Amino acid sequence: MHTLKRDLVIIGGGPAGLAAAVAARESGCDNVLLIERDRRLGGILNQCIHDGFGLHQFGEALTGPEYAQRFIDRLNSLSIETMLGTIVLSMDRDRILHVSSRKGFSRIEAGAVILSMGCRERTAGAISIPGTRPAGIYTAGAAQNFINLQNIMVGKKVVILGSGDIGMIMARRMTLEGSKVEAVFEILPYASGLPRNIQQCLNDYGIPLYLSTSVINIHGKERLTGVTVAQIGQERKPVPGTERHVECDTLLLSVGLIPENELSRGPDIQLEVKTNGANVDDTFMTSIPGIFSCGNVLHVHDLVDHVSDEATKVGQFAAAYLKGDIEIPESYINIKPGKGVGYVLPQRISGDRDFVLSLRVSEPCRDKAVLVRDGDKKVKRKKMVRLHPAEMIRIPVRVDKLGDARSLEVCVE
Amino acid sequence: MSDQFDVLIIGAGVVGNAIARELSRYRLNIGVLEKEQDVGMGTSSRNSGVIHSGIHYKPGTLRARLDVKGNSLMQDLCRELKVKVDYIGKLTVAFDESDVKTLERLKEQGEANGVPGLEMLDADQMRKKQPDVGGIKALWSPSTGIICPYGLTIALAENATSNGAKFILGQDVSSIQQNGQGFVVRTANGNAFTTRVLINAAGLFSDHICEMLGINEYRIYPCRGEYLILDKRLKVRLSVLVYPAPGHGGAGLGIHLTNTVDGNILIGPSNEYIDDRDDYASTAAVTDQLKKEGHELLPGLSISDFIRSFSGIRPKQTSPQEGGFKDFVIESRRDIPGFINLVGIESPGLTSAPAIALMVRDMVEERLPLVKKDIFIAERQARVGTFSELSPEEKADLVADDPDYGEVVCRCEQITKREILDAIQNPMGNRTILGIKYRARAMMGRCQGGFCLPRIVEILEKEFGYRPEDFILNRPDSRLFAGRVR
């Protein structure tokens, strides 16, 4: 079997992998290989033809493909090696990968690996909606692929379950293409997507959003004929008497994204229950030395600009690791989410460098502060007007503020 | 369409297909009518996929005899047809002394039925087979196995086709008339078929076929079983089948965990009589119950470990009031010469299918001379299992020969484009998305086709000329798409 050796192998050529590859190359790593399973780079950005990408990175509103192209151009100008249409089938602790493409099956020995495989959509099975399983039920992202990349219309009378960003964007998209979007139903008492999408994708088009409401039954033996919806009360159970039938031929699901960490199970990388992503330190190194993780495979982001930021740093760290500039500490300072915080990342830091905490609050609130503390000692406090689980919060922390902390807690107060 | 057959089988489930395959050894013109667009769309595909040992059935019954015989035939059959089967064995576990008595009775019954290798194990011996299992004693049945039920059903049909049997899909039988030489069978879409021997293997609808011939003594009571499918991540947790000792009453075998040959775990089945024989819905009440039991049996299950729910329907001959089981009906009707009638083939129908086929063969022989063909193709040209299960070296060789093996289309199950193409170009001429799913295993993983369905659609459009309106999930009206965007 064909064997290759590369200093740095990046798995996944979406926004995270692209930014990581560029940054690693610019940080002096000459032997970078970017592997992408699709036949083109850019990942899911390719099907995101709406605008709003790049406001932070480039100060302008780009479409998904335009945003990706900015990085692809840089990648090309740096002559970074890519393998397209290539899937990594396995990876072990020693960073030996088996990959497959139409050109052949090969083995790659990598000095370091950056995981940037992105995420997948939660399915109807995962949320166990009762009822039949007719045609006409799609995840929002699959529908987006059919409509935007394949010129295929998935349906005419649409119900959307879940107020994730892709679901709301598809509500607008399908309305623009002549479908009737009956409503968006969200099981939680608040929307799970960004406020700007509620305004621009739903309110502007008169599409109602019903909170604390969910689809509780699916009807139709061949094509979907309708769904039963109901208000959701205690213990996520339907409130009796609130059931109503909504006629539709299409149900789009936007009920959450799951980091696609199946490959990470090969080397037994430690995964976190709260993020479904790897446990990482302040260099984004996973529990396995030389394997890094960034982007949506690490934790689901709401803005691609943040993915690029994070991946750029990871590319730099991986390059530094290969040069021997990163020492793996004997012990870490652990960071735990406290009251009001859903998750915080990195989960552990070396105390050797400044870092940025990424976190999400567990429920919406106003006029509170995010507090980083070492026991009773305040390390950092950031006041915020609006805190919402849909919006990732990023807090830079200077290492000289840590003192002799052995562990940190991040909470809302 | 009009055709004349020597033998016409109604129903392309595992039983109908096993009969077709067995009879295709002989110089006979064989037809199989199926109302759905593919074979195995009913009970045959929607079950636990277990090859039962035969301990549960009363000695002397058809169920006992055909199950034990079918079990012993299955290994060779699967080798010939390249179907995944794994005799992993089963522990039936006793939790108290009354359970131990039940197990001893089962062991005696099993031995009377000719079940090989039955052993009573103490707690230590039992935990050597499966660590962490509770209970005080267990009955070990080494001949219990797991199989891919739709894989077997499809393989039987494909092999029968290779040997000349003609499967005619989308034919819902609406009337049957006897004529001098045999029968005229008409279908809802206006086709008529004549045959000398007619075999009723219509499963859930077998009583309807009986009624068309004036036989009113049988009635099918549909009884639904719901399942949840778990992520492959959990497969390491279960190496043999573990069932609790059967309690008293109840018509099914009780909810339990079953590992599949593809490495998933099933939770189920439930047991609920329903009115509509075509109602494959999952219900909130059962789903909640299955999840609850799943969490008890496999601590640490997370929400994303539930991949999908499905349900199957048992063609029971016992009403909800009666409960329990009735024996299979497999009869050559004296009053209707040439009519071979199979009714109520519920569990263990899958295991029994090869033995049922031999029994029916003998019944056919009473009506028609059976002359062996010069050439019978016993071996099906296929690979057992998927590309993903091969070693890196084997994969490398295949990719070098055929680049379509190098392109992984379904990333969750690592199904290659070659496997998708083979499924699309199946010998049955099935043109549905479900047909591809059942044959290639694409779309069966944790993303449930979120990533690969768009790619499969692209392949069908670009390489097979499909238009958006040509895509159907399973039935003619189950269209995937509304047309072009613009």
Task: Name the residue of chain A whose CA is nearest to B434's CA.
Answer: A135
pLDDT at B377: 98
Inter-chain contact B473–A122, Cβ cutoff 8 Å?
Answer: no
pLDDT at B256: 81
* Residue showing tokens 């609808």: B205
Element (H, E) at B94: strand B90-94
DSSP state of B327: P
- Coil vs helix vs strand at B402: coil
Nearest-CA distance A121 → chain B (Å) = 7
- Coil vs helix vs strand at B166: strand
* Sign of the alpha-carbon dihedral angle for B433, B436, B442, B446: positive
pLDDT at A234: 83
End-to-end CA distance of chain B: 38
Q: Is B395 near chain A, with CB under 8 Å?
A: yes
Give the amino acid at A249: D
Neighbour-count burial of B211, counting CB atoms closer than 10 A to its CB (0-12 exposed, 13-18 middle, 19+ buried) = middle
- Coil vs helix vs strand at B123: helix
Q: Is B484 near chain A, with CB under 8 Å?
A: yes
Contact list in B for residue A149 (CB cut-off 8 A) is 454
Phi, psi at A250, each rounded to 5°: -145, 135
Q: Domain A123-255 carries which CATH code?
A: 3.50.50.60
Inter-chain contact A89–B408, Cβ cutoff 8 Å?
Answer: yes
Most A-contacting residue of B234, B451, B455 (CB-CB within 10 A), to test interface:
B451
CATH superfamily entry for domain A1-120+259-328: FAD/NAD(P)-binding domain (3.50.50.60)
Phi, psi at A171, each rounded to 5°: -60, -45
Task: For chain A, give every residue range classified as CATH 3.50.50.60.
Answer: 1-120+259-328, 123-255
Of B280, B306, B473, the CB nearest to A135: B473
Q: How far is CA A315 from CA A319, A321, B312, in A?
A: 6, 10, 50
Look at chain A and count its residues.
413
> SS3 sequence, chain A?
CEEEEEEEEEECCCHHHHHHHHHHHHCCCCCEEEECCCCCCCHHHHHCCCEEECCCCCCCCEEHHHHHHHHHHHHHHCCCEEECCCEEEEECCCCEEEEEECCEEEEEEEEEEEECCCEEECCHHHHCCCECCCECEEEHHHHHHHHHHHCEECCCEEEEECCCHHHHHHHHHHHHCCCEEEEEECCCCCCCCCHHHHHHHHHHHCCCEECCEEEEEEECCCECCEEEEEEECHHHCECCCCCEEEECCEEEECCCEEECCCHHHCCCCCECCCCCCECCCCCCECCCCCEEECHHHCCCCCCHHHHHHHHHHHHHHHHHHHCCCCCCCCCCEEEEECCCEEEEECCEECCCCCEEEEEEECCCEEEEEEEEEECCEEEEEEEEEEECCCCCEEEEECHHHCCCCCEEEEEEC
Task: Name the residue of chain A whose CA is nearest to B389's CA.
Answer: A89
Contact list in B for residue A153 (CB cut-off 8 A) is 468, 481-485
DSSP state of B150: H
Nearest-CA distance B18 → chain A (Å) = 28
- Interhelix angle B14-23/B149-162, rounded to 10 degrees, is 30
Contact list in B for residue A156 (CB cut-off 8 A) is 482
Contact list in B for residue A223 (CB cut-off 8 A) is 477-479
Contact list in A for residue B448 (CB cut-off 8 A) is 123-125
In this prediction, the residues of chain A whose per-residue pLDDT falls under 50 are: none
Nearest-CA distance B182 → chain A (Å) = 36
Task: Name the residue of chain A whose CA is nearest to B308's CA.
Answer: A125
pLDDT at B298: 79
Look at chain B and count its residues.
486
pLDDT at B472: 97
Token pair, residue B35, equals 């109302």
Whole-prediction pTM = 0.95
pLDDT at B250: 38
Neighbour-count burial of B217, counting CB atoms closer than 10 A to its CB (0-12 exposed, 13-18 middle, 19+ buried) = exposed
Asked if residue A39 lies in contact with residue A85, where contact means CB atoms within 8 angstroms, the answer is yes
What is the CATH topology of the domain spanning B1-85+144-219+317-383? FAD/NAD(P)-binding domain (3.50.50)
- Interhelix angle B417-424/B433-440, rounded to 10 degrees, is 130
Of A100, A130, A134, the CB nearest to B399: A100
Q: Is B273 near chain A, with CB under 8 Å?
A: no
Give the amino acid at A393: I
Q: How far does CA A325 lie from the centroid of its chain? A: 29
Give the amino acid at A146: F
Of B304, B450, B461, the CB nearest to A141: B450
Contact list in B for residue A146 (CB cut-off 8 A) is 454, 457, 481
* Sign of the alpha-carbon dihedral angle for A204, A207, A211, A215: negative
Token pair, residue B165, equals 């049997």
Phi, psi at B81, each rounded to 5°: -90, 0
- Please state which of the four CATH numbers 2.30.60.10, 3.30.9.10, 1.20.1050.10, 3.50.50.60 is assigned to the domain occupying B86-143+221-274+281-313: 3.30.9.10
pLDDT at B429: 87
Nearest-CA distance A74 → chain B (Å) = 27
Contact list in A for residue B474 (CB cut-off 8 A) is 222
d(C-alpha B431, C-alpha B470), whole Å: 9
Mean pLDDT by 10 residues, chain B (486 residues): 88 98 98 97 97 97 98 98 96 91 96 98 93 89 97 98 97 96 96 97 98 98 96 81 70 70 93 96 92 81 86 97 94 97 97 98 97 97 90 93 96 95 92 96 92 96 96 97 96
Interface of B with A in 400-419 (CB under 8 A): 400, 403-408, 411-412, 414, 416
SS3 content of chain B, % helix, strand, coil (to 5): 35, 25, 45
Using omega within 30 degrees of 0 as the cis cutoff, is the peptide bond preceding B348 cis? Answer: yes
Token pair, residue A217, equals 């039954």
pLDDT at B1: 55
- Beta strand A226-231 with B183-187 is unpaired
Interface of B with A in 162-181 (CB under 8 A): none
Is-catalytic flag, B52?
yes
Task: Name the residue of chain B whose CA is nearest to A125's CA.
Answer: B308
Q: Is B374 near chain A, with CB under 8 Å?
A: no
Phi, psi at B424, each rounded to 5°: -65, -40
Predicted ipTM of the assembly? 0.95
State the Cα torsion A269-A271-A276-A281 to the nearest 10°: -90
Of A104, A145, A152, the CB nearest to B485: A152
Number of C-alpha atoms within 13 angstroms, CB side, residue A159? Answer: 25
